[in-house]
């Protein structure tokens, strides 16, 4: 609050006081009081009034600043009304009581919403766990049937699995409760778990994977990292240069078009490791690159091929942000896409 | 024949798993009533337990902890709960391995084999011999007619898989799948190249046409 604001708040009163002062001076002058005495009185009253005003100003400014400090010190700002010092005047007390009632009803609404969201998350998680049993049973049944229907069913089951996994991580990522544990892991083990998990989708698209220099330890959560890597691998498998899934690659024997994913690590500093997942697929148009992490953004590639949800990279960004992993994607259209994940190698 | 006990509440998974393990040459016992599991385990005394963490009415972890008080039977947790916290809790309670549903079946079988090998040390011969060719995967060599040649990792895995399925026709897709399960992530082209090189090496040993091509279907030894 500036002095100007303070004064303009009280302008009406001040003008009234000046009028009263002028009127009483006039009355005194008319009744024969000497002008010197009137001037003396006038100056004296003005000085007292100005002093009182200044004291008032500094008092209310420091009071406001105190409240401001309390508010900025609070994590949950809506708890403000519960944390302020007791009020001095009846008027203030009444004001704050009204505020507190309004806060209370808002807090009830907030906690209701939070409970509903937690319940929903719990339901999604338990649903995901429930659905995994029938998928497992279906996979086991598949194992015993003829190769051709088995392969096709396995592919469909792998797609179902991938969608289910995304739903689970969506529920996890959208909620502030952190349920990951950062530990030391071997990078190679995490990469091979991710590749194995999504192997059906990768093999179906005839992808070759080359790994390089992965014998390092990193700090992360293995499940979350596996999921992130899985999304990147799925994108690599989906956006290869050959759009026909059943194409016979032997015609291209070792041309540049045969889809390859290269997973490699480098250590730019002692504490950092950069994991690169690079493919030689169709790439992303430059003007779409800034939006690839947006929720529901499918881009021209996604629309052209269909079946794109626009959730994969959005979830990657959210999860990597909560884990504290750096995630950058660069791409050259028609040449390939390269994702770089930055991990810590020391805590 | 190793005895594997399946403790799993989903009837479909339980039945299929029992069938699968029986086909893989294990003696499988499925628990169908979930009272007194400890006693059932002690009566059956299996070599390995596949334990689901989400059993009706009780906690798989608590069961494991109770069992661990006086038994060292290896336990593999099979569960649909897929978080690091669950995995850590399971391994801290004395589980030997942890695999999440829906699992990759070859991977499950590999894990079972690894855990069993740890607990029942068995002197397996370190080579396979079929039709006059001896493959030694640990040394990375193949020999026939008193000649020996060195093989690459990919070639060993291809040969090992074909030999393990000797007599059967193995499709290219099956072969690629088997290689992926051994962490060799190759595509169709690379497989062709590897097979050609492998055949050349076998020819040097005096084995021409050891790996037969079944046109349009796959390979056969």
For residues A16 and A49, is the Cβ–Cβ distance under 8 A? Answer: no
Contacts of B107 in chain A (CB under 8 A): 196
Q: Does A208 touch chain B (CB under 8 A)?
A: yes
Chosen domain end from B119, B151, B181: B119
Chosen domain end from B119, B154, B171: B119
For position B33, which CATH number holds?
A: 3.40.50.2300
Q: What is the pTM of this model?
A: 0.80
Both B144 and B89 in a single domain? no
Sorted by where each starts, the structural domains of chain A and their CATH numbers stand as: 3-106 (no CATH), 184-344 (3.30.565.10)
Q: Which residues contact B63 (CB under 8 A, 6 or more apart)?
A: B7, B37, B38, B51, B55
Query: Which pLDDT score, from 0 to 100, does residue A177 have?
Result: 63
Question: Domain range holding B155?
Answer: 128-220
Nearest-Cα distance to chain B for A278, in Å, is 15
Q: Which of residues 172-201 of A touch B (CB under 8 A)?
A: 179-181, 183, 192, 195-197, 199
Both B105 and B154 in a single domain? no
**Per-residue pLDDT of chain A in tens (347 residues, 90 and over written 9):** 888 999 999 999 999 999 999 999 999 999 988 889 999 988 999 999 999 999 999 999 998 999 899 989 888 787 787 788 888 889 988 988 898 888 889 889 989 998 998 898 889 988 998 999 999 999 999 988 888 898 889 999 999 999 999 999 998 887 766 678 899 999 999 999 999 999 999 998 899 999 999 999 999 999 999 999 999 999 999 998 875 444 444 444 445 568 999 999 999 998 999 999 999 999 999 999 999 999 999 988 888 887 788 899 999 999 999 999 999 999 999 899 999 999 999 87
Contacts of B103 in chain A (CB under 8 A): 136, 139
Nearest-Cα distance to chain B for A287, in Å, is 32
Contacts of A135 in chain B (CB under 8 A): 101-102
Both B61 and B97 in a single domain? yes
What is the C-alpha to C-alpha distance for residues B135 and B129, in angstroms, rounded to an integer?
Answer: 6
**Per-residue pLDDT of chain B in tens (221 residues, 90 and over written 9):** 899 999 998 999 999 999 999 999 999 999 988 888 888 999 999 999 999 988 887 788 888 888 888 888 999 999 888 888 888 888 888 889 999 889 888 889 989 999 998 887 766 677 889 988 999 988 899 999 999 999 999 999 999 999 999 999 999 988 998 999 888 999 988 999 999 999 999 999 988 889 999 888 889 98
SS3 string, A300-339, reads HHHHHHCCCCCCHHHHHHHHHHHHCCEEEEEEECCCEEEE
For position B211, which CATH number holds?
A: 1.10.10.10
Nearest-Cα distance to chain A for B107, in Å, is 9
Contact B102 A202 (CB under 8 A): no
Both B109 and B132 in a single domain? no
Predicted confidence (pLDDT) per residue in A179-213, tens digit: 788 999 999 999 999 999 999 999 988 999 999 99
The verdict on whether omega for the bond into residue B102 sits within 30 degrees of 0, i.e. cis, is: yes
Contacts of B193 in chain A (CB under 8 A): 254
Chosen domain end from B96, B119, B142: B119
Both B206 and B133 in a single domain? yes
The distance in angstroms from the start CA to the end CA of chain B is 27
User: Alpha-carbon dihedral of residues B40, B43, B46, B50, nearest 10 degrees?
Assistant: 0
Number of domains, chain B: 2
Query: Which pLDDT score, from 0 to 100, does residue A178 have?
Result: 67
What is the C-alpha to C-alpha distance for residues A293 and A318, in angstroms, rounded to an integer?
Answer: 9
């Amino acid at each position: 609050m500036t002095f100007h604001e303070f004064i303009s708040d009280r302008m009406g009163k001040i003008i009234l006081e000046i009028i009263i002062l002028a009127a009483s001076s006039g009355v005194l002058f008319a009744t024969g009081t000497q002008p010197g005495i009137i001037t003396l009185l006038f100056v004296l009253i003005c000085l007292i009034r100005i002093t009182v005003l200044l004291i008032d100003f500094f008092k209310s400014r420091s009071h406001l600043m105190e409240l401001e400090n309390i508010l900025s010190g609070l994590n949950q700002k809506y708890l403000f009304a519960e944390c302020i010092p007791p009020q001095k005047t009846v008027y203030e007390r009444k004001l704050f009581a009204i505020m507190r009632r309004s806060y209370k009803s808002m807090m009830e609404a907030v906690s209701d919403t939070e409970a509903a969201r937690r319940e929903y998350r719990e339901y999604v998680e338990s649903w995901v766990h429930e659905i995994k049993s029938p998928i497992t049973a279906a996979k086991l049944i598949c194992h015993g049937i003829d190769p051709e229907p088995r392969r096709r069913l396995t592919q469909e089951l792998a797609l179902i699995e991938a969608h289910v996994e995304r739903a689970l991580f969506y529920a996890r990522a959208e909620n502030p409760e952190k349920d990951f544990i950062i530990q030391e892991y071997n990078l190679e083990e995490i990469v091979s778990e991710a590749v194995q998990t999504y192997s059906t989708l990768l093999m179906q698209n005839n992808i070759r994977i080359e790994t390089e220099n992965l014998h390092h330890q990193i700090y992360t959560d293995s499940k979350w990292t596996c999921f992130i890597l899985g999304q990147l691998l799925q994108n690599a498998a989906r956006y290869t240069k050959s759009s026909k899934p059943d194409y016979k690659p032997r015609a291209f024997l070792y041309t540049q078009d045969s889809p390859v994913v290269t997973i490699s690590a480098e250590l730019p500093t002692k504490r950092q490791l950069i994991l690169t997942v690079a493919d030689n697929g169709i790439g992303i148009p430059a003007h779409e690159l800034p939006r690839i992490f947006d929720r529901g953004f499918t881009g021209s590639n996604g629309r052209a091929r269909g079946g794109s949800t626009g959730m994969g990279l959005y979830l990657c960004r959210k999860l990597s942000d909560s884990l504290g992993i750096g995630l950058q994607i660069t791409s050259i259209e028609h040449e390939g896409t390269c994702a770089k994940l930055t991990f810590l190698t020391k805590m | 024949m190793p005895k594997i006990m399946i403790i799993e509440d989903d009837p479909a998974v339980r039945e299929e798993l029992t069938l699968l393990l029986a086909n893989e040459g294990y003696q499988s016992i499925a628990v169908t009533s979930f009272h007194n599991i400890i006693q059932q385990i002690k009566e059956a005394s299996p070599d390995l337990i596949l334990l689901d963490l989400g059993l009706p009415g009780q906690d798989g972890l608590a069961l494991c902890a109770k069992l661990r008080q006086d038994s060292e039977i290896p336990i593999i947790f099979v569960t649909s709960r897929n978080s690091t916290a669950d995995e850590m809790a399971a391994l801290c309670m004395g589980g030997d391995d942890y695999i999440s549903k829906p699992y990759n079946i070859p991977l499950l079988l590999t894990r079972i084999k690894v855990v069993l090998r740890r607990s029942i040390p068995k002197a397996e011969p370190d080579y396979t011999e079929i039709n006059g060719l001896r493959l030694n995967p640990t040394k990375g060599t193949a020999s026939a007619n008193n000649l020996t040649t060195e093989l690459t990792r990919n070639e060993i895995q291809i040969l090992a898989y074909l030999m393990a399925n000797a007599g059967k026709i193995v499709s290219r897709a099956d072969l690629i799948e088997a290689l992926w399960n051994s962490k060799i992530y190759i595509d169709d082209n690379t497989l062709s190249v590897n097979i050609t090189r492998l055949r050349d090496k076998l020819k040097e040993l005096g084995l021409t046409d050891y790996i037969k091509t079944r046109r349009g279907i796959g390979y056969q030894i």
